[in-house]
Structure 1
Amino acid sequence: MGLVFESAAVQQDPQAAATHVLLVGCGEYPSLAAAGFGGLDPLSAPRLSVEALADWFLSGPDAMPAGQALPSDHAFYNPEAPLGSLVMLTSPTFPYQAPSGTVTNPTRPTVACIRTAYAQWLDRLGANPNSRGVFHFCGHGVSNGISQFLVADDFGEDPHDPWSGVFHVSNTCQATIRKTAANLFFLVDACMELSEELINQIDDPKALIGGKRTGQPITTEWAVLRATTANRLAYAPTGGVAHFTAALLQALRGHCGSQRAAAPGFGVGIAELREAVAAFLALTQQTESGERQKLGQTEGEGDWNVSMHILATRPSVLVEMDVQPEGYRPVARAFMEDAAQQREVKPLANGPAQFVKQQGEWSYGTNASNNEYAEQLYTRQFLTKAVHSCRFRIT
């Protein structure tokens, strides 16, 4: 159901160590108005967000023809757990063309289809502790003030039980960690806005799968990375990828990772992703007014350094520089230089300047093209974060 990619290795050995991905994007919600839930509206971002993440996973060496894969700072790469399968459920259900050129028709994400796809995802993960499971949801989410619930595309279609189209995130995770030994990554791009309608229901929505509270967890390496904090909204630009997923993709494209102790490359796990995604989320919204989206509490167990992705080269830092007051921008320049004092210069006339440099020691600063103000310079700074912002105060 909704299968976009399955590797030859997994077809030959379904229990081989692999990364299995389940992407769910709910956007149409055709029965919201009829069900009388005015607080929720159709969304354009979920399908775009899911497709963007699918493109990243499918542009790596596991899913592309030989010689056509993008490098690890642009696409998925994990030789310890290569891409084994990718399943996509989206609404609207337009055909999806993968980077390889293959065209598939995603399944509509009704709650029944999500449950079926989720059970199949668990079957693929099986009992291999070296496999990785990635579940990404983008769509409506609501909260009872404590727990988050995600809304399937057919919400409201059952007039006798409209809330049957909603499922409980934490309970789904608790049931899942008792059914697979794989390392699990839950990426939830949805609101956690308080819903009085949900609170007033006689029964809470259920998990996607059943399970006992007393069951012994099989895996202790799992985490939920949420797009927003309790009782708050998640945002998306009109006609674009949702802010959280966009920040996640920026982080994955070479901007985070920790040096691995016994193998080459830099591991990208939840610990690295959370810090980098938070930084890009803040950078995206720095010029926006009103409430700003911040990452929610990360739920899970383990030390969160299991690699979902492996970066083959040293991570990069996005350095953004500007001057204050902004009236100096027409003559202002920003620059960065390496240890050999080779300097790259960019004008600030059109706003902040951005540089992408490998993590390490850099000098950076600002000066004026007409010498209107004295040069300001930070010498030999060690830059290791995904984002580094600097605003030079001109006096």
Structure 2
Amino acid sequence: MGIIFESDTILQNPQATATHVLLVGCGEYPHLAAAGFGGLKPLTSPRLSAEAMANWFLSGPDAMPVGLAQPSDRAFYNPEAPLGSLVMLTSPAQPYQAPSGAVSPTTRPTLANIRAAYLQWLARLGANPGSRGVFHFCGHGVSDGISQYLVADDFGDLPDDPWSGVFHVSNTCQATIRKTAASLFFLVDACMELSEELINQIDDPLALIPGKRNGPPQTTEWAVLRATTANRLAYAPQDGVARFTAALLQALGGHCGSQRADGAGFDVGVSDLRDATAAFLALSQQMATGERQKLGQTEGEGDWSVAMHVQTQRPSVLVEMDVQPEGYRPVARAFMEDAAQQRDMKTLAGGPARFVKEQGEWSYGTNAQNNEYPEQFYARQFLTRAVHTCRFRIP
């Protein structure tokens, strides 16, 4: 169901150590109006967001023909847990063309279909502690003020019981960690807006799969990374990738990672990914008006250093520089210097200047084309975060 990719290794040995990915994008919601639930509307971003995630996973060496794979700053790479499978459920359920050119059908993400795909995902992960499971959901989410619930595409199919198309995130995780020893990454791109309709239900929506609270966990390496804070919305542009998913993919684009113990590359775990995603989310909204989206509380266990992805080169930092007052922009220049004092310079006439450099020691500053203001300069700054912004105040 919804299988886009299975590796030859997994086809030959289903228990081999691998990364198994389940992507869910709920957008159509054809029965919202009939259910009389006015707070939710159809969405255009979930399918695009799921496809963007699929493109990243499937552009690496595990899924592309030999010689055509993208490097680790553009696509998934994990030599310890190569891509074993990718399943995608989207609404609209349109065919998906992978970066390799292969075209596959997708499946509508009804609650029953999500549950079936989820159980298959768990079966692939099995009891292998070296495997990784990635679950990404983009669509509607609601909250009772404490817990988050995700809304499947068939919400409202049963007019007398519309909430049968909703599932509890935390309880799903608690059931899941008692069924697999794999490291788990839950990436939830959905709102947590308070829903009075949900609060007024006699029974709460259930977890996606059944489970017991008192069973010993098989894994203690898991995390839920949420797109927004409690009682808040998650945002997306019309006909574009949702803000959280876009920031997540920017972070995965070579902008985070911790040095591996053997020195061969940089592990991208949840701790690295959260910091970098938060930075890119903030950067994308710096000119926005109204409420700004911030990452929600990260739930889980472990030290969050298990690698979901491995960056082969030193991570990079995006440096953005600007001047204030903005009236100086037409004559202003921004620059960065390495240890050898080689200077990279850009003008600010079109707006803030952006540089992408390896994380490390850099000097940077601003000056004017005709010396309209004195040069401002920060020498030998150690830049290690995914994003660094600087606004120079011109006296």
Q: How does 1:41-60 map to 2 (within 5 A)?
A: 41-60=41-60
Q: How does 1:1-395 map to 2 (within 5 A)?
A: 1-395=1-395
Equivalent residue of 1:41, what SS? coil
Task: List per-residue Cα deviations over 1:328-361 (Å, max 9, x = no partner).
Answer: 0010011111111111111101110100000011
Aligned partner letter, 2:240: G
Cα offset, 1:109, TM superposition: 0.2
C-alpha separation between the residues in 1 aligned to 2:225 and 2:262?
27
Task: List per-residue Cα deviations over 1:72-110 (Å, max 9, x = no partner).
Answer: 010000000000000000001111000000001100000
C-alpha separation between the residues in 2 aligned to 1:8 and 1:340?
48
C-alpha separation between the residues in 1 aligned to 2:202 and 2:384?
50
C-alpha separation between the residues in 1 aligned to 2:394 and 2:262?
47
Equivalent residue of 1:197, what SS? helix
C-alpha separation between the residues in 2 aligned to 1:392 and 1:327?
13
Cα offset, 1:384, TM superposition: 0.4
Aligned partner letter, 2:296: G
Equivalent residue of 1:240, what SS? coil
C-alpha separation between the residues in 2 aligned to 1:379 and 1:263?
28
Equivalent residue of 2:357, what SS? strand
Q: Which runs of 5+ in 1 are unaligned?
A: none
Aligned partner letter, 1:319: V
C-alpha separation between the residues in 2 aligned to 1:368 and 1:238?
39
Aligned partner letter, 2:75: A
- Asked whether the 8 Å contact 2:34–2:159 carries over to 1, the reply is no
C-alpha separation between the residues in 1 aligned to 2:38 and 2:161?
17
Q: Under a length normalisation based on structure 2, what TM-score does the superposition of the two structures give?
A: 1.00
Aligned partner letter, 2:42: P
C-alpha separation between the residues in 2 aligned to 1:36 and 1:171?
27
Cα offset, 1:2, TM superposition: 0.2
C-alpha separation between the residues in 2 aligned to 1:232 and 1:177?
27
Equivalent residue of 2:145, what SS? coil
Task: List per-residue Cα deviations over 1:121-143 (Å, max 9, x = no partner).
Answer: 00000000000000000000000
C-alpha separation between the residues in 2 aligned to 1:252 and 1:140?
24
Cα offset, 1:258, TM superposition: 0.2
C-alpha separation between the residues in 1 aligned to 2:230 and 2:385?
26
Cα offset, 1:380, TM superposition: 0.8
Cα offset, 1:389, TM superposition: 0.2
Equivalent residue of 2:300, what SS? strand
Task: List per-residue Cα deviations over 1:350-378 (Å, max 9, x = no partner).
Answer: 11010000001111100001110001011
Cα offset, 1:262, TM superposition: 2.7
Aligned partner letter, 2:322: D
Equivalent residue of 1:172, what SS? helix
The structure 1 segments of at least 4 consecutive aligned residues displaced by more than 6 Å after TM superposition are none
Cα offset, 1:289, TM superposition: 1.1
Equivalent residue of 1:51, what SS? helix
Q: Under a length normalisation based on structure 1, what TM-score does the superposition of the two structures give?
A: 1.00
C-alpha separation between the residues in 2 aligned to 1:361 and 1:238?
39
Task: List per-residue Cα deviations over 1:186-205 (Å, max 9, x = no partner).
Answer: 00000000000000011100
Equivalent residue of 1:225, what SS? strand
- Asked whether the 8 Å contact 2:14–2:124 carries over to 1, the reply is yes
Q: Which moved more, 1:261-270 or 1:301-310?
A: 261-270
C-alpha separation between the residues in 1 aligned to 2:232 and 2:110?
25
Aligned partner letter, 2:366: T
Q: Which runs of 5+ in 2 are unaligned?
A: none
Task: List per-residue Cα deviations over 1:245-268 (Å, max 9, x = no partner).
Answer: 000000001000000113510000
C-alpha separation between the residues in 2 aligned to 1:119 and 1:53?
21
Cα offset, 1:160, TM superposition: 1.8
Task: List per-residue Cα deviations over 1:165-203 (Å, max 9, x = no partner).
Answer: 000000000000000000000000000000000000111
Q: Give the aligned CA root-mean-square deviation in angstroms.
A: 0.5
C-alpha separation between the residues in 1 aligned to 2:209 and 2:262?
37
C-alpha separation between the residues in 1 aligned to 2:346 and 2:171?
50
C-alpha separation between the residues in 2 aligned to 1:321 and 1:239?
30
Percent of matched pairs sharing the same residue: 80
